[in-house]
Structure 1
C-alpha cells in the first residue's frame, strides 16, 4: 500500500509518524526493547502529546532475529497466528552511549540511538538496515491505523519469493498484496501467498502476519522493500545464513520442514481431466492404453465429476458414471496404480451433507447466525469451518470412508477466495483467516493421511497455501493455458515458490485451459517429467498422449522412464529437502549465487544440486541456457561443454538442455517401469568431470528415506580415490559416461577396455589411475 506522494510528500489524508530517537533501552537476557518517540526531544515539555513507538528485538533461534514494533499494544489479541518457533536465544546485548548491539549466531544487529537506525550483519557483511523512517505508525483518512516496515535495498540487490507468483521472477519494482485468490497463472493474483522474501544479498524476511500484507518492492520507494499491515502492531523476522541455502534452512526451521513424499508420488499421474465425460470404461481405456504403449503410470486421479454435479462435495461417487466404485478401485489398484480423488472444502446446497453440516455448526456463518453462502463455484455452497474441531472430525470421517474404499491421496483444490464477512467457531479474525484457511484445510487432510496411511505414505496435491504449508506436500501451479507463454509463467511461479520454502512443485502438463498443439504438449511433457512431480491434466479435453500424435507417445514414454531411472538421485535430493528445507527444484541463483549472471534466470533451473534443466518454450525447438563456469556434460549425449557462457542448440522432441554439473555423482536406478523400487540395488554411480582436490559424493536410500549406501571420490592428478559404503549391495561406477568399474558385495572389480588401470585396496576403497 502506498502512503506517500513522491519522495517528498505524504498522500492526502495520511499522517506518518516514525521514531526520531531512542529515548530509552531495556535489556534483558532474551530481548532488547527500544522506546522511540516520534519527535525530537529538546526538553521535558517535548515528551507530552506525541506518539511513541516501542520496538522489541529478540531471537527465536540462532541466525534469526525477530523485530516487533507497536504504537498501542492494548488491542485484543487476534487469531490465528502462524505456527512459528517461539523459543528464545540468549542475546548478551552490549550498550554504549549511542549504540546497542548483540548477536544471534553469525547474525549481528547494531541499533543507533540518535538518529535512530537498525543495521543487520552476517558476520561482518552488512545485509540491510532500517533508517529513521523504516518503522512507522500511520493514521489513515478514516482514522484507521497502519504499521509500515522498510528495509533498504543495496545497489544490485534483488528480491525473490513472496509465494507462487507468475509475475517477473525478480520482484523489484512490483506491488504485491499477499492475499490468496483464484486468479489462474496469467495474472498478478496468486493461490499461494507467502509473506516471505529472500534477497541475493544473503538474507530472508518473514512478515509474521496472516492477514493481508502489502509489499512495495523497490516501487513506492525505489531503494527500499516496504511492507505494511493494518493495525497497531508489526512483526517480522530477519533470517540470515552463510548461503542462500542456509537462509532457506533457517526459514523452514522456523516455520516447518517439508514432509518426505512417498516414492510412488514421483511417477506420472494421469487424470480424467475436468469437464470431460468419463466412466470406468473410459478410465480403463486410458490406463490400459498407457500400459499397451509401455508408458509407466503411477497414479490415476479422478477429478471433480467423480461426484454428481451440483453436489460438490458430497464425497460420494456418481453412481450413474461409477456404479461399483469399490470394485473399480480394486481393479485399478490390481494394475499397480495409486488412486487420488479431487476434493474441496465447500459443501453445495444440493449436497446431502449441507443440512447435516449447517445443523451442527460446521459451516462458516454470517454475523446474524445464517450460514454464509454464495453461487460462485457451487450453487448455494457453504464453507467448512476448520476452526471447529467437530467440523474437522466430521470432514475427516467422510474422507476416511474413501480411504477405506481404496483411495490413496486427495487433490485438495481451492481454499483461496475465503470470505471475510463471516464468523468463525473459535472467534478467529476473518481477515487473518483468509490466507491461513489454506493451511488449516490442508493440515486437516494431510494429518488424516498420516494417521490412516502412515507418515511414509501421506501426500496431497494442493493448490492453495500459506506460511507453513510446505509441511504438507505437494503443491501444483493451478490453472494455466496451453501455450508456451503460460508454460514460462508457470515455471516462474514454481521458482518463486521454491524460494518461499516449498520443496515440491508440479503443474498441468500441456496446460489446463484449452488444448495444446502437439508441439507444445511434447515440449511441456519433457518439462513436466523433469519436475519434482508430474501430472497430465486438462480442462475440456483428455491428456493422454496418443490424442496429440504418435510421437507424443514416444516422448511421454522416454521421459517417464528417464525420470524413474533418476529416482535414486531425486529421492536422495528429497531426503535432503526433508532435513534441510532446500527445495528439489532450485532457481540457478540458489546453487550459483556467486555468479551474478544466474540472478535473473527464470527459464531454467537445477533439479537437485547436479542436474540443470532448461525447458524448450518455442516452436522452433531451440533450447538455450546459461551454463555457469566449469565443465558441463549433456546427460543424454554425454557431450562435454565448457561453461561460463550461453549455449544455444536445436533439439528434437526426445531431448532438451539437460546438463550435469562438474564434480557430480548421480545415483541412477536399474528400474524404469516405476518410481518406487529398491534404489540401492544394482545402482549405478555416474561420475562427471571430477575437479582436482574437491570431494564428490552421493548416497542412496530405500523408499522410506533411510540411507543404504554412500560413495565419495577425490581426484588428485591422474588418480581418483574412491570410498564406498555399500554393504551387501551391488553397484556400478561409470566415469564420464564410460563404464570403468563393476563391483559386487564380494568386491570383484573388472578392468575396463579403455586403458583405465584399477588398483583395488579392498571392497570399500580403491583407486582409479587414469
Structure 2
C-alpha cells in the first residue's frame, strides 16, 4: 500500500475503516536481548517484555521514532522470567510459564494466550485513524478533525468487557466507544457515559486485562461498530500495552496491582462515619453538628469542611486556601477540640486560583500557574470566577501546593479533600511543565494525589494520609486515593448506578470507590431513598453522606424514624470494623477489591457477567441493595459454590438459584457464606476507642462445609507501613468438620514490634440443630449456651495471653 493510499485510508470516517483489509505490515526479523524480544517489521519494531508469568508488555515503535520508556502507571520492575523462543514454520512463539505470544509472519499477526488458552490478538495492530468531527474533537490549530493513533484487537463474539474507568452504562460495557477525558458529570442518574475518573484498561470475561500505558486523551472502543474489535485511540504518546492474565480473577487483579501499585491501608478512621455537607459556614455550625452526633449516640470519626472554610461566598474566593478568620476565628482550637472527641478534621482544596482570591498575585509571582504558549499565566472563566490552574507538573507548583497542605497538617487537619481535579475546566490552550493540557489532562488528578502522598512520606512519614479525590488514572491507588463517584443526583436513578461504578472500579484496582450517600445534587427530601442509600453504604468502602445543604445530609438532622434507621446502619458499620479493616488489609496486600462482582465467584457462569444487583462484600457477605422506590421484594442470586444464611434471621438458602426475598424497611438483604468467620466488636463512639480485646467471633456452620477459614488483621490504625514494620497482629480462624466433631481454631501471628492484648472471645456458632453433647476449650470441658429457636451456640473464651485457641464441639 502506498503512502498516498494510507493517507486516504486515514481520512475515512472511523466506522468505514473496518471494511478495509489490514495494513500490509511485513515481518523482517526477530532478536532477543536485555530481557525482551524485538520483532522488526516493515514499518517499525515491536518490543515485547515479560514482567512476570502473568504480565507481558508490548510496545510498537514506528520507524523514525524512538521508544519512550516513561510510564505514569507502571511501578513493577520486570522480573527475571524464564522464557522460551521457538521458531516454527511461519510463526514464532515467545513464552513465559504463563503467558505466551505467537507472532505469525504472513499475514503479520500477534496473538496472546495464557497456559494454552487464547486470550486476544491484534487485528490491524497499530494504525492511524481520523477522529469523529461530529463529536467536536478537532485540532485547534487547523480546525480539522484530529488524526489519532490507534491499536486494534480482535475479540471473540461472545466475550463481555469491563473497564474504561468510572462509568454507568451497564456492567457489560461492550458496545460502547468511551471517551478518555476525565470530566465531571453533574447530577447524573442511572447512566453516565463519561465521568471524572477514566482509565485506558479493558477487562474480559475470558479472565484477562489489557492496559494501554498512555495517559493522553482519546478513546477506548469496546466494539461499538459490532465488528468484534477492541480499539484504543489517542492523540499521541506511547504505543504500549500490557496483557495481564491469571488463573482466577483474584490473580488478574493481583497481577495488575502488582504492576501499577497497591493501595496503602488507609487510617482506620476512614472506615468510620463522616459528617459532611456543602457546607459548614462557620465554627458554630460545625461544632453543633459534631455535638449532635454525640448527643444522638451516632458514631462519628470525621467532620469535613467544604469551601466555606476559606471564604464566605461560593464564587470569587477559590484559591484563598486559608481559614476565614471571621467565620473560624480559632481553627487550631476547634480542630483540637474535635480531636479530643475522636473526630478528625478534613478540608476541601481545589487546584484553581481565581484572580479575586488572596493568593492570586502570589501564585502569579511564584510562577505556580499553567501558562499560555508564550509562558504567561493563562486565566479563563469558569463557574467559580476568572481563574488560573495550579501547574502540579512544575517543581514550583508542587512545592507551593504542598507547603499549603503541610501548614494545614501542622494546624491539626488530618484529611485532604481534593475536588474538581479532572481538572473540571482545562482549556486545550493551557500548557504545563511536562506537556499540553490534552497530553496531561488525564494524569492531573494522579499527580495531585502523588503530590500529597509523597509530601506526607517526606514530612510526616509515620502517618497514613487520607486523600479524598474524584479524578485519577491507572495506578493512582498506590498513592492512597479514596475516590468518590462525583456529584450524583439525589434520586433513585443516582442510587441505581452506584453498585456498578464501585464494582467496576474495584476490578480496575481502585478499591475504595464510593458514593455521596443519600445523593448530592438537587434539594430532594426522600427519606426512603436516604435510608436505602445508607443501608447500602454499610457495604461499600467509605461511609460518607454528603449533599447540597438545602436538605441535610447528616442523619442527625433527619426525622426520627429515618434517624433511627440511619443510626442502626451506622452502628452496624462500626460492629463490622474488624471484618472491614481486614478487607482493607487484603486490598493492600493482594489488590483485592472490597466490593466484588459475582464474576469473581463464578467466572464461568455467563448469567452473572452483567450482574451488579447482587455483589460480594469481601469474600463472605452477599449483598443486594434496594434500588427502587416502594420495593417490597428483591431478586437475589445465590452463588452455587456455597449455601448462604440470612445475616438477620439465620434462614438458610441453597446456592445456585435466584430467589425472590421479602424486604424489611430496616436493612437490605445481606447473607453470609456457609463456613464463614465474621469477626465483630461492640459499637464504639469513634474508632479511636476501637479494640479487639473483646472480640465477637461468628461462625456459620453447615453440614456441607468440611473446612472453612477467615482472618482478622489488627494494628494501631494510624502508622504508615505498620505491617511491614512488624507492628501488627494477624488472627487466622479455621474450621474442620469430621464425623460429628466441629473443630474451630484461632491462631495468632504477631509482628516483631507488636504487643497483642489479652483477648476474650465471645464465640457464636450459627446453624447448630441440636445441643452439643460437649464443648472443649483448649482441651478443657467448657460451659456453653444453645438457643433452640435460633440454632445459635454461644461459647465464651475468657481473656487469655494464649496466641492460639482451640474449640472442639461434639455435635
TM-score norm. by structure 1 comes to: 0.91
2:752 matched to which residue of 1? Answer: none
Aligned counterparts of 2:712 and 2:268: Cα–Cα separation in 1: 16
| Mapped contact 2:777–2:808 kept (Cα < 8 A) | no
| 1:296 paired to 2:299 | yes
Per-residue deviation, 1:154: 2.0
Aligned counterparts of 1:641 and 1:253: Cα–Cα separation in 2: 37
| 1:749 paired to 2:802 | no
| 1:527 paired to 2:536 | yes
| Mapped contact 1:71–1:233 kept (Cα < 8 A) | no
2:740 corresponds to which of 718, 733, 740: 718
| Mapped contact 1:160–1:198 kept (Cα < 8 A) | yes
2:88 matched to which residue of 1? Answer: 96
Aligned counterparts of 1:743 and 1:397: Cα–Cα separation in 2: 60
1:769 matched to which residue of 2? Answer: 810
Per-residue deviation, 1:443: 1.2
Per-residue deviation, 1:537: 0.9
Change in Cα spacing, 1:75 to 1:139, as seen in structure 2 (3 Å) is: farther
2:617 matched to which residue of 1? Answer: 607
SS in structure 2 opposite 1:481?
Answer: coil
SS in structure 2 opposite 1:521?
Answer: helix
Per-residue deviation, 1:376: 0.6
CA-based RMSD of the aligned residues comes to 2.9
Change in Cα spacing, 1:745 to 1:231, as seen in structure 2 (3 Å) is: same
Aligned counterparts of 1:283 and 1:255: Cα–Cα separation in 2: 39
| Mapped contact 1:80–1:432 kept (Cα < 8 A) | no
1:42 matched to which residue of 2? Answer: none
1:652 matched to which residue of 2? Answer: 664
SS in structure 1 opposite 2:382?
Answer: coil
2:114 matched to which residue of 1? Answer: 122
TM-score norm. by structure 2 comes to: 0.86
Aligned counterparts of 1:54 and 1:215: Cα–Cα separation in 2: 23
1:696-715 aligned at under 5 Å gives the runs 696-704=709-717, 706-715=728-737
1:41 matched to which residue of 2? Answer: none
Per-residue deviation, 1:635: 1.0
1:512 corresponds to which of 493, 513, 520: 520
| 1:193 paired to 2:198 | yes
| Mapped contact 2:776–2:808 kept (Cα < 8 A) | no
* 1:287-308 deviation line (CA, Å, top 9, x unaligned): 2222221111111001111111
1:618-767 aligned at under 5 Å gives the runs 618-622=628-632, 623-629=634-640, 630-690=642-702, 691-704=704-717, 706-726=728-748, 728-736=758-766, 749-753=782-786, 764-767=805-808
| 1:501 paired to 2:514 | no
Change in Cα spacing, 1:216 to 1:769, as seen in structure 2 (3 Å) is: same
* 1:298-342 deviation line (CA, Å, top 9, x unaligned): 110011111113221212112232222222222222222111011
1:401 matched to which residue of 2? Answer: 407
1:1-40 aligned at under 5 Å gives the runs 3-6=13-16, 9=19, 18-28=23-33, 30-37=35-42
Aligned counterparts of 1:507 and 1:451: Cα–Cα separation in 2: 31
2:6 matched to which residue of 1? Answer: none
Aligned counterparts of 1:668 and 1:345: Cα–Cα separation in 2: 40
| Mapped contact 1:293–1:553 kept (Cα < 8 A) | no
Per-residue deviation, 1:428: 2.9
Change in Cα spacing, 1:374 to 1:604, as seen in structure 2 (3 Å) is: farther
Deviates more, 1:353-362 or 1:149-158: 149-158
2:170 corresponds to which of 168, 190, 198: 168
| Mapped contact 1:522–1:552 kept (Cα < 8 A) | yes
Per-residue deviation, 1:264: 0.8
Structure 1 residue runs of 5 or longer lacking an equivalent are 11-15, 38-51
Aligned counterparts of 1:423 and 1:205: Cα–Cα separation in 2: 30
| Mapped contact 1:73–1:232 kept (Cα < 8 A) | no
SS in structure 2 opposite 1:289?
Answer: helix
2:470 matched to which residue of 1? Answer: 463
Aligned counterparts of 1:503 and 1:537: Cα–Cα separation in 2: 20
Change in Cα spacing, 1:453 to 1:671, as seen in structure 2 (3 Å) is: farther
1:120-159 aligned at under 5 Å gives the runs 120-131=112-123, 133-138=124-129, 146-159=148-161
SS in structure 2 opposite 1:380?
Answer: strand
Aligned counterparts of 2:130 and 2:606: Cα–Cα separation in 1: 41
| Mapped contact 1:680–1:708 kept (Cα < 8 A) | no
Per-residue deviation, 1:460: 1.2
1:210-289 aligned at under 5 Å gives the runs 210-231=215-236, 234-271=239-276, 273-274=277-278, 278-289=281-292
| 1:616 paired to 2:626 | yes
2:138 matched to which residue of 1? Answer: none
* 1:183-217 deviation line (CA, Å, top 9, x unaligned): 23443221111111211101001000110131111
1:438 matched to which residue of 2? Answer: 445
1:56 matched to which residue of 2? Answer: 47
Per-residue deviation, 1:547: 3.8
1:40 matched to which residue of 2? Answer: none
Aligned counterparts of 2:325 and 2:499: Cα–Cα separation in 1: 39
Per-residue deviation, 1:680: 3.0
Change in Cα spacing, 1:69 to 1:599, as seen in structure 2 (3 Å) is: same
Per-residue deviation, 1:364: 0.5
| Mapped contact 1:748–1:763 kept (Cα < 8 A) | no
Per-residue deviation, 1:486: 0.7
Structure 2 residue runs of 5 or longer lacking an equivalent are 1-9, 134-143, 718-722, 749-755
